[in-house]
Amino acid sequence: MRNRDWSEAEATSAPQTGPGREHEAALIGRIQRGERELFYELIRPYERRVFVIAFAILRNEADAQDAVQDAFLKAFKYLSQFRHESRFSTWLIQVAINEARLRQRKSHLEIMRPIENQENEDGTYTPRDFADWREIPLEVLERKEVREKLVAALGSLAQKYREVFVLRDVEHMSIEDTAQTLGISAGAVKTRLLRARLMLRDLLAPGLGGIWAGHSQVPKGTKPWS
Amino acid sequence: MVVKCEDVLREISNYFEGDLDPALKRALDDHFAQCARCRSVRDGMRNVIELYGDKSMFPLPAGFYPQLHDRLADQVEGQRGTRRAWLVSVGVTGALAASALLAAAIDRFVPRPRSEMSQPARRLPQRLVAVVDGGKMFHVPGCPFMHGKYHLVTPEEAVREGYAPCNRCMYEALRSAGNVSLDFEGEEAASNESEGK
């Protein structure tokens, strides 16, 4: 796998409970009392996560980067209003999602939303592809074109599915935290997650099930992004 | 327990979440062993979850950290700027207060000149000088421009009382004593010229 840079390597997973969370609460208290430089330490575990979520919403690296910066600035500005009623990570990601959505509305990207946005969430999704799959080694991610196809497939999902999928499957947040962050029920998270996974599987089947993985069982011309 | 393909499609996500009761999970596993289509769904979803769940899936763009930290540092710098501005304002206020105190002290120990039009004494003669009651100048005793009742005081005392030197008699007295600079003479000449003398 690719080497991660020092910042990613040093970034620890977000504290959920115990001493890590207490340390985080202490940090927030010290920042609120004026030790502003500690803000860097506070957000360090979440920098990458916030970027990925902003990118999933905006589907553009530059816009996502701007949104991330604005989100952290807002978090810094309004940290005094954080009341520890939720996890800091939940609050921070909510700030980031709001910032990305706001930026998206400003750039009128919603008129370009995928057609799935208009689908009824309650409807059952039926897979289209039933080719044999074998286990795909993670090494395929070293290939830039594979990553681009995966990103494109994710970007083609409706936003409500992208958000849930990224929080749960990319950032490994729990169902409950995902629900709290997005302000929806756990049941809705599960429903959207199921559909997102099934849709991505269908979108990627021609490539990951065959050509990219080294064997060709899928007829040409079936790639959804071609 | 026997499950159908539609049950698999409904529960497949929960299957990966580990959110099924053991009996249902066993039933799904049995179904996968017999149904290639559902196996395809399971294997494909597993790949999706594993690939997207890998950190290398979404590499951060080049320059992400420096740009982010620069932007945040700007904000922190702004806060520092505010702090600096506060310090400057405190300093300026302190300087103004000190100036006011100094002015008050000067006002207390250096009385205002009795004549605002007169130049204050820059050099003093080594002799007693005469001040006229109600006057504004100090003179060499016997100065023709001195009128009225006078009394003698030391030059320092006359200055402290706000008296200014008489341009005429005092100038002559200092010059004869060798105590007048060329500058003073130049000023005097210029003054005389301006008065048409």
Residue A55 to chain B, least CA–CA distance (Å): 9
pLDDT at position A220, please? 41
Which residue of B7, B16, B42, B48 is the best one to mutate when testing the A interface, meaning the one whose CB has the most A CBs within 10 A?
B48
Residues on chain B touching A131 (C-beta within 8 angstroms): 40
Integer distance in angstroms from the first to the last C-alpha of chain B? 130
Identify the band that residue A2 occupies on the pLDDT scale cut at 50, 70 and 90.
Answer: very low
Considering only the beta carbons, identify the residue of A131, A170, A175 that sits closest to B53.
A170
The better pLDDT of the pair A157, B119 is held by A157
Identify the band that residue B160 occupies on the pLDDT scale cut at 50, 70 and 90.
Answer: confident
In chain B, the residue whose alpha carbon lies closest to the alpha carbon of A173 is B53
**Rounded average pLDDT over B129-156:** 86
pLDDT at position B77, please? 57
Rounded to the nearest 10°, the torsion over CA A15, A19, A23, A26 is: 120
Q: Which helix (H) or strand (E) holds B139?
A: strand B137-139
**Rounded average pLDDT over A88-100:** 94
pLDDT at position A57, please? 94
Residues on chain A touching B67 (C-beta within 8 angstroms): 65, 69
Question: Are the C-beta atoms of residues A25 and A87 closer than 8 Å to each other?
Answer: no
Considering only the beta carbons, identify the residue of A147, A175, A201 that sits closest to B45.
A201
Sheet of strand B129-132, all strands in order from the earlier edge strand to the far edge = B150-153, B129-132, B137-139, B164-165
Q: Which helix (H) or strand (E) holds B127?
A: none
The model's pLDDT over A163-202, given as tens digits with 9 standing for 90+, comes to 999 999 999 999 999 999 999 999 999 999 999 999 999 8
C-alpha–C-alpha distance, residues B108 and B104, integer Å: 6
Judge whether residue B91 has pLDDT over 80. Answer: no
Helix residue spans in chain A (DSSP H): 6-10, 18-32, 38-43, 47-58, 61-78, 88-106, 144-155, 159-165, 175-182, 186-206
B67–A69: do the CB atoms touch at under 8 Å?
Answer: yes
Judge whether residue B80 has pLDDT over 60. Answer: no
Q: Which domains does chain A have, with CATH numbers?
A: 19-112 (1.10.1740.10), 128-211 (1.10.10.10)
Q: At what angle do helices A186-206 and A175-182 cross, to 10 degrees?
A: 100
Tokens of B121: 């004494």
Q: Kindly state the percentage of chain A with pLDDT values over 90.
A: 46
Instruction: Give ipTM to 2 decimals.
Output: 0.77
Question: Are the C-beta atoms of residues B123 and B148 closer than 8 Å to each other?
Answer: no
Strands B164-165 and B137-139, by their bridges, are parallel
Backbone angles phi and psi of A207, in degrees to 5: -85, -55
The model's pLDDT over A41-64, given as tens digits with 9 standing for 90+, comes to 999 999 999 999 999 999 999 999
C-alpha–C-alpha distance, residues B68 and A70, integer Å: 9
**B117 — contact with chain A (CB < 8 Å)?**
no
Tokens of B42: 């399971």
Which has the closest alpha carbon to B28: B6, B48, B55, B46?
B6
pLDDT at position A173, please? 93
pLDDT at position A223, please? 40
What's the residue count for chain A?
A: 226
C-alpha–C-alpha distance, residues B151 and B130, integer Å: 5
C-alpha–C-alpha distance, residues A94 and A71, integer Å: 9
**Rounded average pLDDT over B70-81:** 69
In chain A, the residue whose alpha carbon lies closest to the alpha carbon of B68 is A69
Residues on chain A touching B58 (C-beta within 8 angstroms): 48, 51-52, 55, 151, 170
Question: Are the C-beta atoms of residues B76 and A79 closer than 8 Å to each other?
Answer: no
A204–B48: do the CB atoms touch at under 8 Å?
Answer: yes
Residues on chain B touching A172 (C-beta within 8 angstroms): 53
The model's pLDDT over B19-47, given as tens digits with 9 standing for 90+, comes to 899 999 999 999 999 999 899 899 989 98
pLDDT at position B33, please? 94
Q: What does pLDDT average to over chain B?
A: 77
Considering only the beta carbons, identify the residue of A5, A76, A170 that sits closest to B57.
A170
